[in-house]
C-alpha cells in the first residue's frame, strides 16, 4: 500500500505542469489511482517518466475497460518506478461512441502492442499510433469483442439444444 506522502508527491508532480487535469484520485483496492482528463494523458505520463521525484519508467499495463451503463470506455495505464518499487494507476474515460486518445508510443515503445490490442478488442483509436491495426482478431472483423454490447452466444443457432447442455 502506498503511503499518503507518496500519493501527495505524485499529485504535486502532476500539478506542477498540468494543474487542472486531475479529476479524482484515491486508493482503489490497495492501488493508488488517478483519474485524468484525456487530452494530455501522454504529456502527463511523459512528465511522470522524466521527473526526478517520480521516474515512472516502466509501463506495466495499458488496457481498455467497457462501462456500458455509462456509455464509456476507460483506458487504464499502470506505471512502475523500478527504483522505489512504487506503482500508480492512471485512468481516462472516453465516449463509447467514438473512443479516441493520444498514443503513448512516443514515451514507451512497448505501448505499441498494448494499444493495438486495446484497439482490437475495445475499438479505442490511439491518435498518432504508427501502425494501428488489429493484432489478434481477423482484419475484416466489424465488432470489438470485449465490449459488453454483444450476446455471448449466437441466439440463432439451431444446432444447440438446451436439453443437450442440461438447461
Domain 4-153 is classified in which CATH homologous superfamily? NADH:ubiquinone oxidoreductase Nqo5 subunit (3.30.460.80)
Q: At what angle do helices 4-17 and 41-50 cross, to 10 degrees?
A: 120
pLDDT tens digits, 79-130:
999 999 999 999 999 999 999 999 999 999 999 999 999 999 999 999 999 9
pLDDT tens digits, 125-167:
999 999 999 999 999 988 899 998 876 677 676 776 667 666 5
Amino acid at each position: 500500500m502506498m503511503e499518503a506522502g507518496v500519493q501527495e508527491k505524485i499529485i504535486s508532480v502532476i500539478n506542477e505542469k498540468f494543474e487542472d487535469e486531475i479529476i479524482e484520485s484515491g486508493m482503489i483496492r490497495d492501488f493508488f489511482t488517478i483519474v485524468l482528463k484525456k487530452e494530455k494523458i501522454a504529456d502527463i505520463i511523459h512528465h511522470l517518466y522524466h521527473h526526478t521525484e517520480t521516474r515512472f519508467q516502466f509501463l506495466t499495463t495499458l488496457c481498455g475497460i467497457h462501462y456500458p451503463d455509462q456509455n464509456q470506455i476507460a483506458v487504464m495505464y499502470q506505471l512502475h518506478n523500478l527504483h522505489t518499487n512504487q506503482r500508480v494507476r492512471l485512468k481516462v474515460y472516453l465516449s463509447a461512441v467514438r473512443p479516441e486518445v493520444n498514443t503513448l508510443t512516443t514515451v514507451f515503445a512497448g505501448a505499441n502492442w498494448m494499444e493495438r490490442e486495446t484497439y482490437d478488442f475495445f475499438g479505442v483509436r490511439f491518435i498518432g499510433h504508427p501502425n494501428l491495426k488489429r493484432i489478434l482478431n481477423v482484419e475484416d472483423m466489424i465488432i470489438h469483442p470485449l465490449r459488453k454490447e454483444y450476446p455471448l452466444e449466437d441466439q440463432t443457432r439451431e444446432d444447440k439444444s438446451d436439453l443437450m447442455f442440461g438447461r
